[in-house]
Amino acid sequence: MVRARAGIFGIFGINGFLLAMWVVHIPSIEHRVGISHSTLGSLLLLLAVGAIAGMQLSGPLADRYGSRRMVVLAGSGLA
């Protein structure tokens, strides 16, 4: 149980760190790409919609193939 808890803590910690590193660069990315605030807002909304769709899909896949395999696959896909 301790090992599983440490693994989940690590995954959430890494995801939080990577999100924080990305968020601080949003204004410079917006300026470099040359998009408006409203376009950026729409893109971020689509990102959230995609995340919700992915969560709906990942639950049944984790039930079928196991959560360990899905975490490894998702982590590899993000890399």
Asked if 55 and 23 sit in the same domain, the reply is: no
Average pLDDT over residues 41-68: 93
Q: What angle do CA 1, 78, 38 make, to 5 degrees?
A: 120
Residue 79 has pLDDT above 80, yes or no: no
pLDDT of 75 reads 84
Residue range of the domain that includes 21: 1-34
Number of domains in the chain: 2
Structure tokens at 78: 């993000």
Is the pLDDT assigned to residue 13 strictly greater than 90?
A: yes
CA 75 centroid distance within chain: 9
Report H helices in the chain. Answer: 2-23, 26-33, 37-65, 67-78
- In order of 33, 41, 51, the CA distances from 36 in angstroms are 9, 9, 23
Give per-residue pLDDT as tens, 19-40.
999 999 999 999 999 999 999 9
Please tell me whether residues 44 and 79 are part of one structural domain: yes
